[in-house]
């Protein structure tokens, strides 16, 4: 790796030394993994971009386990690391789903540093990932530097039951809204061009309410709403060291992730209401195959029971946002055997859209509304699992494609109600 600047511990460096690549690493109590991540970055840069000037930038969110020191130690004698100031800790009271308080500020610091260094490409990685390889650096950066892409988002290989919130709501709705088939728009890693990072920094997202949880998604929608070339890099499996013991309860997860998605709608109306259909994004990287995924066990009967309990307890709340016909359709799901439990795709799409409208109009407190979506989401998940269990990955893909088509088909339903809100619940 070519070092282009003097040793520095803060990102207040002037524009004196421009670089081709900035790799930003965000960390929060990742001492166990950050060393390996920055080492993989170093090796990736040396192996694939030996002729390019590059810098590694660390944005630590206030670790108490010495993560920054581990990162420095890992590169000692081979390269220097530039650190952006630790963000204030004010939003640690509410832990975001990506378990990194102050992430928006950390990201902004990295992007601002990349801009100040005139970087042609900027990559962001999470220091807690155990599976980062030097090849990731290549797959993320190369489309930007060589093929002129503005955003390269990762596509991680997941078990069919994993990332269900993304599969069931985020991806289909994001795709229908913005017309871009970005499979995993809320992952924390990405690469972007200098043009896009300038756009990101100009966006009015950084200080918005909920930025602590929504920033990943909002940057993706920002890129999808603009005139930017978007690619997707298959990076294999993503394992995070903290996931096992720091997973949030589902209600909080739904509140943060779906709340971020819904909150963004208001700010990009001019874009998503004018977008019709969707387009695929350019794939990069290598899609791994075989049975390398860890098995995941989910009992759909328990999900169905949770839904039925939710129906009994929350139906009165649902009637604030869902039309009578939908309530009757949901009532039909109360009976019958689990093996034939099916939540129709169109029904699910309109339910999600009606919740988005209810969120916009604040028909009840937003957090209550979002938490009441959980049993409905579990109903969708149960239906999905009942349909795809024992099926191959290709079948699962086709099933998701049908779901996305339903979200796209029902988009006029959302638009017509959005434009004339008195039609909510009709």
Partner 1 sequence: MAHKSSQSDGLWYKRAVIYELPVKSFCDGNADGVGDFPGLIEKLDYLEGLGVNCLWLLPFFPSPLRDDGYDIADYCDIHPSYGTLDDFRRFLDAAHERRMHVVIELVLNHTSDQHLWFRRAREAPPGSIERDFYVWSDTDEKYRDARVIFVDSERSNWTWDPVAGAYYWHRFFHHQPDLNYDNPAVLGEILRVIDFWLELGVDGFRLDAVPYLVEREGTSCENLPDTHTVLKAIRRHIDERGPHRMLLAEANQFPADVRAYFGDGDECHMAYHFPLMPRIFMGLHLEDRHPIVEIMQQTPTIPGVCQWALFLRNHDELTLEMVTDEERDYMHLAYSADPQARINLGIRRRLAPLMGNNRRRIELLNSLLFSFPGTPIVYYGDEIGMGDNVYLGDRNGVRTPMQWTSDRNARFSKADPARLYSPIIMDPIYGYQGLNVEAQERDGSSLLQWMKNLIGLRKLFPVLGLGTLRFLECENRKVLAYLRELENDAILCVANLSRSVQPVELDLAPFAGFVPIEVLGYTEFPIIGERRYFLTLGPYDFYWFELQRRD
Residue 319 interacting with partner 1 (CB under 8 A): no
For residues 232 to 271, the per-residue mask of contacts with partner 1, x marking binding by CB under 8 A and - elsewhere, is -------------------------------------xx-
Q: Closer to partner 1 by CB, 17 or 415: give it.
A: 415
Q: Closer to partner 1 by CB, 328 or 420: give it.
A: 420
- Considering the complex, what minimum distance in angstroms separates the CB of residue 362 from partner 1? 10
Residue 421 interacting with partner 1 (CB under 8 A): yes
Q: Closer to partner 1 by CB, 276 or 332: give it.
A: 276
- Considering the complex, what minimum distance in angstroms separates the CB of residue 203 from partner 1? 11
375-414 residues in contact with partner 1 (CB under 8 A) are: 412
Q: Closer to partner 1 by CB, 243 or 419: give it.
A: 419
- Considering the complex, what minimum distance in angstroms separates the CB of residue 275 from partner 1? 12
- Considering the complex, what minimum distance in angstroms separates the CB of residue 346 from partner 1? 17
Q: Closer to partner 1 by CB, 148 or 421: give it.
A: 421
- Considering the complex, what minimum distance in angstroms separates the CB of residue 413 from partner 1? 9
Q: Closer to partner 1 by CB, 15 or 276: give it.
A: 276
Cα separation, 115 vs 163, whole angstroms: 33
Residue 261 sits at φ, ψ, to 5 deg, of: -65, -50
CA distances from 312 to 191, 318, 380 (A): 46, 11, 17
- Considering the complex, what minimum distance in angstroms separates the CB of residue 416 from partner 1? 4
- Considering the complex, what minimum distance in angstroms separates the CB of residue 276 from partner 1? 7
Task: Give the count of residues interacting with partner 1 (CB under 8 A).
Answer: 12
1-30 residues in contact with partner 1 (CB under 8 A) are: none
Q: Closer to partner 1 by CB, 302 or 419: give it.
A: 419
Which stretch in 69-77, 106-114, 209-217, 418-426 sits in contact with partner 1 by CB under 8 A? 418-426
Q: Closer to partner 1 by CB, 46 or 415: give it.
A: 415
Q: Closer to partner 1 by CB, 105 or 411: give it.
A: 411
CA distances from 71 to 8, 37, 40, 67 (A): 14, 8, 11, 6
Q: Closer to partner 1 by CB, 274 or 332: give it.
A: 274
- Considering the complex, what minimum distance in angstroms separates the CB of residue 175 from partner 1? 19
Residue 416 interacting with partner 1 (CB under 8 A): yes
End-to-end CA distance of the chain: 61
Residue 227 interacting with partner 1 (CB under 8 A): no
- Considering the complex, what minimum distance in angstroms separates the CB of residue 424 from partner 1? 8
- Considering the complex, what minimum distance in angstroms separates the CB of residue 202 from partner 1? 8
Residue 420 interacting with partner 1 (CB under 8 A): yes
- Closest to 78 (Cα-Cα) out of 63, 96, 109, 56: 56
272-291 residues in contact with partner 1 (CB under 8 A) are: 273-274, 276
Secondary structure of the chain in HEC code, one letter for each residue: CECCCCCCCCCCCCCCCCCCEEEEEEECCCCCCHHHHHHHHHHHHHHHCCCCEEEEEEEECCCCCCHHHHHHHHHCCCCCEEEECCCCCHHHHCCCCCCCCCHHHHHHHHHHHHHHCCCCEEEEEECCECCCCHHHHHHHHHHHHCCCCCEEEEEECCCCCCCHHHHHHHHHHHHHHHCECCCCCCCCCEEEEHHHHHHHHHCCCCCCCCHHHHHHHHHHHHHHHCCCCEEEEEEECCCECCHHHHCCCHHHHHHHHHHHHHHHHHHCHHHHCCCCCCECCEEEECCCCCCCCCCCCCCHHHHHHHHHHHHHHHHHHHCCCCCHHHHHHHHHCCCCCHHHCCCCHHHHHHHHHHHHHHHHHCCCCHHHHHHHCHHHHHHHHHHHHHHHCCCCHHHHHHHHHHHHHHHHHCHHHHHHHHHCHHHCCC
Residue 302 interacting with partner 1 (CB under 8 A): no
**Binding site residues, partner 1, CB under 8 A:** 269-270, 273-274, 276, 412, 415-416, 419-422
């Amino acid at each position: 790796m070519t070092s282009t600047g003097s040793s520095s511990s803060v990102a207040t460096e002037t524009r004196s030394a421009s670089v081709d690549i900035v790799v930003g690493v965000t960390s929060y109590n990742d001492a166990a993994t950050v060393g390996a991540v920055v080492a993989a970055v170093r090796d990736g840069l040396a192996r694939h971009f030996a002729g390019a000037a590059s810098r590694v930038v660390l944005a630590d969110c206030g670790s108490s386990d010495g993560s920054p020191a581990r990162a420095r130690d890992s590169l000692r004698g081979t390269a220097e690391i530039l650190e952006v100031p630790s963000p204030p800790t004010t939003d640690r009271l509410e832990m975001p789903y990506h378990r990194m308080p102050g992430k928006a500020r950390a990201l902004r610091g990295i992007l601002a540093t990349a801009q100040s260094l005139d970087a042609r490409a900027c990559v962001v990685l999470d220091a807690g990932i155990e599976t980062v390889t030097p090849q990731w650096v290549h797959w993320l950066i190369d489309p930007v530097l060589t093929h002129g892409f503005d955003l390269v988002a990762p596509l991680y290989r997941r078990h069919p039951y994993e990332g269900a919130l993304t599969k069931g709501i985020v991806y289909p709705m994001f795709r229908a809204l913005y017309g871009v088939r970005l499979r995993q728009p809320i992952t924390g890693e990405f690469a972007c061009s200098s043009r896009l990072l300038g756009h990101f920094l100009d966006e009015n997202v950084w200080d918005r309410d909920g930025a602590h949880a929504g920033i990943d998604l909002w940057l993706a929608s920002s890129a999808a709403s603009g005139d930017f070339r978007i690619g997707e890099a298959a990076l294999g499996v993503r394992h995070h060291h903290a996931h096992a013991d720091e997973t949030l309860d589902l209600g909080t997860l739904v509140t943060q992730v779906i709340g971020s998605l819904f909150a963004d709608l208001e700010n990009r109306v001019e874009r998503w209401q004018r977008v019709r259909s969707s387009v695929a994004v350019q794939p990069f990287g290598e899609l791994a195959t075989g049975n390398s995924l860890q098995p995941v066990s989910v009992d759909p009967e328990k999900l169905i029971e949770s839904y039925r309990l939710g129906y009994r307890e929350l139906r009165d709340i649902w009637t604030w946002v869902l039309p009578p016909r939908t309530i009757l359709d949901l009532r039909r799901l109360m009976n019958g055997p689990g093996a034939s439990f099916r939540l129709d795709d169109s029904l699910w799409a309109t339910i999600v859209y009606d919740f988005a409208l209810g969120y916009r109009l604040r028909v009840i407190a937003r957090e209550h509304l979002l938490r009441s979506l959980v049993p409905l989401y579990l109903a969708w998940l149960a239906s999905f699992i009942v349909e795809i269990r024992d099926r191959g990955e290709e079948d699962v893909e086709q099933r998701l494609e049908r779901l996305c088509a339903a979200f796209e088909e029902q988009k006029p339903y959302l638009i017509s109600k959005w434009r004339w809100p008195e039609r909510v619940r009709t």
